[in-house]
Structure 1
């Protein structure tokens, strides 16, 4: 998130914060203009606006601290809340995360829903009435709390407490490749056990059952969790960067990828027989998880399920489409019976 926050500050948030909380509201005889050479706001006394008077009571760093902060641009309006001011970072991160998760969710889920998801699955007897709408509503209700739970991790990241690094040469290209694979293995294994523990009776009913309401999920079910459930299953992603070094841009790409993967495996696809079927935990495996509950807890790979004796091989005979065809045949038979 530090990359995202830096870019947002550079192109949007610096101006927004300068407009909302200008230096002039807190510094006497200042117009809010920032001098890049002297670090001193030029003196040009003016009558404070009603907005300036209103916000002048909001806590802020002392002017000396603010004026000593890194500059943005010569002559640009400066905010009384500099980039490294904790309240500004908290609010900015919440806004960026809130916007980002909605964009990722609706973009990837919509693409998957229209171009990958088999809409015939919606004819399944266990597909709920208005299910897509309910999945979206559940996701939107969960997002704000999930973001609040996650903010401390993002805040620690942007304040330099993680092990993220910039220069690939610090650890070499070999480690860059290794860390990509290691990130997937590490998070997959931890998510396997978190997910499996959530199926224990003590947790399942109040924590994880809301997600299993969708027996035949659509891509919009990917984030339709109890907020605490969604947060707990995301913990390995955040823990990783505090335990192991990983290149900053690579981590951002992997973070986007895991959100995409969560959507992808919820498309109820039961295509079987592909070469990586026994290695990659794909949509067919996760479809079986939603149908049978106690199998295929993994996120990307099947190895943890194999080790934990919870693996179930996707087979054509387990395809929920067979239930749809059977239900349609039953209806047709009943209709013929009435005609006769």
Structure 2
């Protein structure tokens, strides 16, 4: 093994650097000077036998094969490798990214997809949209704290994320298979986590704030308690630690799941007839908000059917919120809209009665604190 060139500025970090780099470097004293003489190494006779060495910020020598590798970058080498700097960068990027996704797609969905007639429903709360946004914006930074810890582990090389298609076990077909397996894996995980959050030990403390919004808008998608939000996102982050996943695919799926979460709160119940009982869309999730203990799934209805919690959406049977509004207008054409439901009982009956559990524990109208 040829000794890499040594320099007398900042010592190399043996705790976070690749093992072959640490072994190749001479021992360092407390003052940063080497314990033995440092002659310049002779040129390699056969460059193919040893990795070429390069200098990176911090005057440390590392194999050139590590240059530009985002997931196997020698920690402690230069500013990019400092854990604190990485954590801070990830925190800023995660918060700005989540906020941008939420506000951008939530706004587009609210103005171009959401049926504003639903705001006339008796269970649509006073100032609901602004309250949904306020609660989400205050929750997202807290959700990002444990999320950033998982992202940090990923960028430090502890996950199975990879950069190039050539690194996929099955090439392009492996990339597409990983997308499908990601959807089914996360759908299963979210189902059981979501259902667990409805247990009496956790519901009132963590999940109840999200059920304030009986007639939800796209902005209700991220308006939940930080623990609730992180727990339901956990399967997304666990997947790349268990299965190989292309890093760009991971980013694309992360965006997709956020957009999907917004879409199932948009009140647009249109689904191809053949897929109505397969895809867990907005109609299914609307009934979850109204009836409390049905349709816990995220993308599909598979686990609801396995777990006995599937309910055919009332909107497909002519008994949904839109149908109630239509009957209300037919009964009393001059009736005013229902905005401003009673603060004491925001869950007042709208013709679709909530579960007994919800009736025993009415949801508070206002949520003023996170946590």
TM-score w.r.t. length of structure 1 = 0.74
Aligned match for 1:143, one of 107, 118, 140: 140
* 1:97 matched to 2:89: no
Supply the distance in 2 between the matched residues of 1:204 and 1:321 (Cα, whole angstroms).
28
**Matches for 1:168-317 after TM superposition, within 5 Å:** 168-170=165-167, 171=169, 172-271=171-270, 274-314=273-313, 315-317=316-318
**What does residue 56 of structure 1 align with?**
none
Supply the distance in 2 between the matched residues of 1:271 and 1:174 (Cα, whole angstroms).
31
* 1:66 matched to 2:67: no
Give the drift of 1:189: 0.3
* 1:325 matched to 2:330: no
1:33-61 Cα offsets, whole Å, 9 max, x none, are xxxxxxxxxxxxxxxxxxxxxxxxxxxxx
Supply the distance in 2 between the matched residues of 1:273 and 1:174 (Cα, whole angstroms).
27
CA contact (8 A) 1:125 1:327 kept: no
Give the drift of 1:69: 8.0
Which structure carries more helix by proportion? Answer: 1
Aligned match for 1:106, one of 64, 85, 103: 103
CA contact (8 A) 1:270 1:287 kept: no
Of residues 132-141 and 272-281 in structure 1, the stretch that sits farther from structure 2 once superposed is 272-281
Which structure would you say has the larger Rg?
2
Supply the distance in 1 between the matched residues of 2:140 and 2:148 (Cα, whole angstroms).
12
Supply the distance in 1 between the matched residues of 2:217 and 2:61 (Cα, whole angstroms).
48
CA contact (8 A) 2:329 2:335 kept: no
Secondary structure in structure 2 of the residue aligned to 1:200 = coil
CA contact (8 A) 2:271 2:281 kept: no
**What does residue 124 of structure 1 align with?**
121
CA contact (8 A) 2:178 2:245 kept: yes
1:275-324 Cα offsets, whole Å, 9 max, x none, are 21111111111111111111110000010101011111122323111222
Supply the distance in 1 between the matched residues of 2:61 and 2:186 (Cα, whole angstroms).
37
Of residues 117-126 and 80-89 in structure 1, the stretch that sits farther from structure 2 once superposed is 80-89
1:39-92 Cα offsets, whole Å, 9 max, x none, are xxxxxxxxxxxxxxxxxxxxxxxxx972338899xxxxxxx9610101100111
Give the drift of 1:149: 1.8
Secondary structure in structure 2 of the residue aligned to 1:312 = coil
Query: 5+ residue gaps in structure 2?
Result: 1-55, 69-76, 337-371
**Matches for 1:70-81 after TM superposition, within 5 Å:** none
CA contact (8 A) 2:297 2:303 kept: yes
Query: 5+ residue gaps in structure 1?
Result: 1-63, 73-79, 336-340
* 1:154 matched to 2:151: yes
Question: Structure 1 residues 330 and 182, CA, compared in 2 at 3 Å: closer, same or farther?
Answer: same
Give the drift of 1:193: 0.4
CA contact (8 A) 1:142 1:226 kept: yes
Question: Structure 1 residues 132 and 333, CA, compared in 2 at 3 Å: closer, same or farther?
Answer: closer
| Cα RMSD after superposing both structures | 2.1
CA contact (8 A) 2:219 2:262 kept: yes
